[in-house]
Structure 1
Amino acid sequence: MSNEKVYPMTKEGKEKLEQELEYLKTVKRKEVVERIKIARSFGDLSENSEYDSAKEEQAFVEGRISTLETMIRNAKIIEDDELNSDTVSLGKSVTFVELPDGEEETYTIVGSAEADPFEGRISNDSPIAKSLLGRKVGEEVVVQTPGGDMTVKIIAIK
């Protein structure tokens, strides 16, 4: 097998990527091709900003399609039975509080392909996740962040 990166993800995360890929291939790709056709009809391509914009979008869409195909091809699904219920691991939600008097925060640790911090889904490659992986409820963990070290106490794992 090649040395391609493995993308750990949940079954739902893979399905979401497959849906995005399908949309890009069947809908978005056609829309961009149509934009290019219309822009060509405007004449001189050397001074045609519509054409340039459509070609840039086409490059982005094709790049995203290629990325998604690689991620899906190299996906490793995180199975529920692989998860130890009392240890922080990929696919688990962990609730912690920053010491001494921070607020509770809950994040689900997912593969980089699924990460969305605004939805509470952090990459297993992030500093917080790296510090928490393998830990148990009640443990205090020092997390190294770009803004400096912080100490957190794990209060729940689901």
Structure 2
Amino acid sequence: MAEIVYYTKEGLEKLKEELHFLKTEGRSQIAKAIAEARDKGDLSENAEYDAAKEAQGLHEAKIAKLENTLAHARLIDESKLDSSKVLALSIVKIRNTNNGATMTYQLVSESEADLKSGKISVKSPIAKGLLGKSVGDKAEIQVPAGKMEFEVLEISR
């Protein structure tokens, strides 16, 4: 059974747009490549045709995966979320108690995670350690570099 994944409105729209692109323009580009390869002669010795057919298979697999993801995707109504605790979609300002550095992250689904824009996956070690914490709580988190301690400074949506 597939796992239900929660998305922001923005993340869900991005998935739908990608699926639409793959089904329309993506499929037509693949069909065009197959037709061009077919026009080059004998199919039994045509590596270009084989590559185009393989690309088609990979493309269809990607479409199927996206459709499955969307079928199990759920939109989170941010207005109903408790902002006193760290939850999925929370924007959390934390301080590393070892060096005093402060960071702000939004906890999002795996497919929406983008560290450059401050979005980390709820399945990442830091996010897992922060889930359920309140402002002022400290979390000791095992990361690849060792144990780190963070203090939750602020929680928002």
Alpha-carbon deviation of 1:4? 2.2
Alpha-carbon deviation of 1:91? 1.0
What residue identity is the alignment partner of 2:12? K
CA-to-aligned-CA distance 1:68-124 (integer Å, 9 cap, x gap):
111111112111133111211111111112222143222111122322233322211
SS of residue in 2 equivalent to 1:113: helix
C-alpha change, 1:45 and 1:150, in structure 2 (3 Å) is farther
Q: Distance in 1 between matches of 2:43 and 2:97?
A: 60
Percent of counterpart pairs with the same letter?
A: 41
C-alpha change, 1:143 and 1:40, in structure 2 (3 Å) is same
Alignment of 1:27-46 (within 5 A): 27-45=25-43
SS of residue in 1 equivalent to 2:40: coil
Number of residue pairs aligned between Structure 1 and Structure 2: 156
Q: Tell me what 2:88 maps to.
A: 90
TM-score, L = length of structure 1? 0.87
Structure 2's unaligned 5+ residue stretches are none
Alpha carbons 1:93, 1:108 under 8 Å: kept: yes
CA-to-aligned-CA distance 1:113-138 (integer Å, 9 cap, x gap):
32223332221111111110111122
Structure 1's unaligned 5+ residue stretches are none
CA-to-aligned-CA distance 1:35-87 (integer Å, 9 cap, x gap):
11112222344554433443343233212211111111111211113311121
TM-score, L = length of structure 2? 0.88
C-alpha change, 1:44 and 1:155, in structure 2 (3 Å) is farther
Alpha-carbon deviation of 1:140? 1.5
Alpha-carbon RMSD: 1.9
C-alpha change, 1:135 and 1:54, in structure 2 (3 Å) is same
SS of residue in 2 equivalent to 1:21: helix
Q: Tell me what 2:136 maps to.
A: 138
Alignment of 1:1-158 (within 5 A): 3-45=1-43, 48-158=46-156
C-alpha change, 1:26 and 1:87, in structure 2 (3 Å) is same
Q: Distance in 2 between matches of 1:45 and 1:148?
A: 56
What residue identity is the alignment partner of 2:53? K
C-alpha change, 1:138 and 1:38, in structure 2 (3 Å) is same
Alpha carbons 1:99, 1:152 under 8 Å: kept: yes
Q: Distance in 2 between matches of 1:45 and 1:99?
A: 65
Superposition misfits of 4+ residues, deviation over 6 angstroms: none
Q: Distance in 2 between matches of 1:44 and 1:102?
A: 67
Judge which range, 83-92 or 41-50, deviates more.
Answer: 41-50
